[in-house]
Amino acid sequence: MRLTKNKFFWALYLFLVYELVMIVFRLSGFSLEKLFLTSFLWIIVLLEFITLFTKFTEIKQSLQRTAFNAFFLLILWNLFGIARSIIAGTEKIYTLFGNINTTLMLLIPLSLVFALDIKSIHVISRYLFRILAIGAIISVLIITKSDFFVIDQSIMNFLVLAILLMLLLYYYSYWIKIYIIIITFLVFIDAWFLESRAMMIRIPLFLICLTAIIIYRKLKSRSVLFLSFVVVFLPFIWFYTSINDNQSLFARYSEEVFNTQDNRTFLYTEVFDDLLKTKTIIQGKGASGTYYSPTMRIAKVDSKNRPNVEVGILAILLKGGIIAVFLTSILIIYAIYLAFFKTNNIYTIAIGYLLLIHFVILFVENLVQFNTYNFLIWYFIGICLNGQVREMTDQEIFNLVKYGEPA
C-alpha cells in the first residue's frame, strides 16, 4: 500500500503547484509555460490509471457491487465521450488535452481509486492542514486588497479547500480547532468582499452540518442523519417546482434572499435549449462539447460557444448527458447513504455531510473542472464507499489522522 500512498501524495502536491502558479501568474491560451504545467495534471491522470489497473481486483472487492458498477460504467462512458471528441476532430488538439474543461474534466472521477488505501486519510489530513496556512495568507491578501494576484473565481475554488477540515474538528486538538475556525471566518470575509454567493452559502451550511454532527454524537440518534439524508432530494424537488410553477426558484430567491440579480436561470435555459435542439440531451456532447449562449453573444463578455457551465450539474449534462448525470448522482447519493447509515465512525459521517453540501450546491454552482476540489470530492466519495474505512472505530480513525496507522 506504500506505493499507492506515494501516488496520492504526489497527485495532491502536483495539483497544489499547478493551481498556485496559475493563480499567481494567470497563464492562459497556448504557451510553453502552460504546456509544462498541464503536464503535471497528466502525470496525475497517469498515477490514477496505474492505480486503477494494478489495484483493480482490490477496488472491486472494497466497493459494493452497486457502487463499483456505477463507477466502472461512468469511467467507460466518460472515456467514450473523450473518444467521440477525438474522432469528431472539432477541437484543436492542445485544447482537447490541455484544457481543464475538456478531456481532463471527464477523467476527474478516477481519483476515487486513491481511497482504496486507508493510510491516504493521514496523507489528506496533513495536506489539508498545510492548505490552511496557504488559505490564511491568501485570505489576508484579499482582505488587504493586495495586488499580488488577480482575484477571480479560481481564488474561491482554492479557498474552498481551506474550510474542508471544518467538518472534521472532532479529530483535532482544542487549539487546532480554534485555528481551523479562524481560517474559516477569514474565508467567509473574503467571500463577502468578493460577493461570492456560493461560498457565503457553503460556510453556513458547513456550520449547520457541524451542528448536526455534534447533536448526533451527543444523542446517538439516527433520526438526525435521516433528516439530513432527505436534503439530498431537495434539488430534484426545486427543479420540479420550477417547471410546475413556471418560475425559477433562482429568480425568486435571488431577489428575496440575496437582493441580487438571478444569474442561473438563463444558464439552465440555454443548456437545455441547446441539448434539446441538437438532440444530445441523453448522451451529451463529449469532452469537446459546447453550448450556444445567446446571452454571452449579446453581452460579449465570453465566447458564444461555451465549453463549460458555472452550474456543475449542467456541466456534467453538457459533456455526458442524462447518462452521466444519473451515474454521478447514484454514486454521490449512495456514498452519502453509506456514510450516514453503514458506518462505525464520525469521520465518514462528516465526509457524508461534505458530499451532501457538494451535491446540493452542484445545482447552483460548483464548477466541474480538473482541479483539486473536484479531485478531493471524488476521493471522498471513495472513502465513503470503502467498507474498510466505514468499519473502523473513531479511535482507529484518530490514530490514522495523527500517526498514519490505525493502531
Please state, as a whole number, how many other Cβ atoms lie within 10 Å of the Cβ of residue 403: 10
Of residues 338 and 35, which shows the higher confidence score?
338
**pTM of the complete model:** 0.93
CA distance 45 to 362: 23
- Residue 42 has what pLDDT? 97
Name the least confident of 13-22, 157-166, 351-360, 370-379: 157-166
DSSP string, 315-380: HHHHHHHHHHHHHHHHHHHHHHHHHHHS-SSHHHHHHHHHHHHHHHHTTT-----SSHHHHHHHHH
Please name the residue that has the C-alpha cell 442561473: 264
pLDDT in tens, 123-169: 999 999 999 999 888 888 887 776 655 566 677 778 888 889 899 99
CB 169 within 8 A of CB 398: no
CA distance 346 to 360: 21
Of residues 90 and 401, which shows the higher confidence score?
401
Name the least confident of 9-23, 227-241, 338-352, 389-403: 227-241
The pLDDT of residue 380 is above 70: yes
Provide the residue range defining the domain that includes 253. 2-403
- Residue 245 has what pLDDT? 59
pLDDT in tens, 35-70: 899 999 999 999 999 999 999 999 998 898 999 999
Amino acid identity of residue 88, one-letter, is A
- Residue 251 has what pLDDT? 55
Residue 270 is placed in which grid cell?
A: 440555454
> Which of the four pLDDT bands, split at 50, 70 and 90, describes residue 366?
confident
- Residue 141 has what pLDDT? 81
Dihedral sign for Cα atoms in the order 290, 292, 293, 298: positive
Query: Stretch 380-398: mean pLDDT, rounded?
Result: 95
CA distance 285 to 279: 10
Considering only CA atoms, which of 320, 311, 316, 327 is closest in space to residue 284? Answer: 320
Task: Please list the alpha-helical segments (H only) found in 144-196.
Answer: 153-159, 174-194
Q: Which residues sit opposite 292 in a β-bridge?
A: 305
End-to-end CA distance of the chain: 16
CB 158 within 8 A of CB 23: yes
Dihedral sign for Cα atoms in the order 124, 129, 134, 139: positive
pLDDT in tens, 292-306: 999 888 877 778 899
Name the least confident of 76-85, 189-198, 237-246: 237-246
- Residue 273 has what pLDDT? 93
pLDDT in tens, 4-35: 458 999 999 999 999 988 888 777 777 788 88
**What domain count does the chain have?**
1
Backbone torsion region of residue 356, taken as left when φ is above 0, otherwise alpha when ψ lies between -120 and 50, otherwise beta:
alpha
DSSP 404: S
- Residue 23 has what pLDDT? 82
- Residue 173 has what pLDDT? 87
The pLDDT of residue 190 is above 50: yes
**Backbone phi, psi, residue 305, to 5°:** -105, 100
The pLDDT of residue 258 is above 60: no
The Cα-based distances of 121 to 278, 321, 362, 386 in angstroms read 44, 33, 25, 12
CA distance 108 to 377: 9
The pLDDT of residue 1 is above 50: no
Please name the residue that has the C-alpha cell 456532447: 285
Q: What percent of the chain has pLDDT over 90?
A: 58
Q: Mean pLDDT for the chain?
A: 88
Query: Stretch 212-229: mean pLDDT, rounded?
Result: 93
- Residue 361 has what pLDDT? 92
Residue 65 is placed in which grid cell?
A: 457491487
The pLDDT of residue 3 is above 50: no
The pLDDT of residue 407 is above 60: yes
Quick one: how many helices (H) and strands (E) in the chain? Answer: 20, 2
CA distance 32 to 98: 11
pLDDT in tens, 225-242: 999 999 999 888 887 776
Question: Greatest CA separation found in the chain?
Answer: 62
- Residue 122 has what pLDDT? 94
CA distance 58 to 117: 10
- Residue 109 has what pLDDT? 98
Please name the residue that has the C-alpha cell 481560517: 183
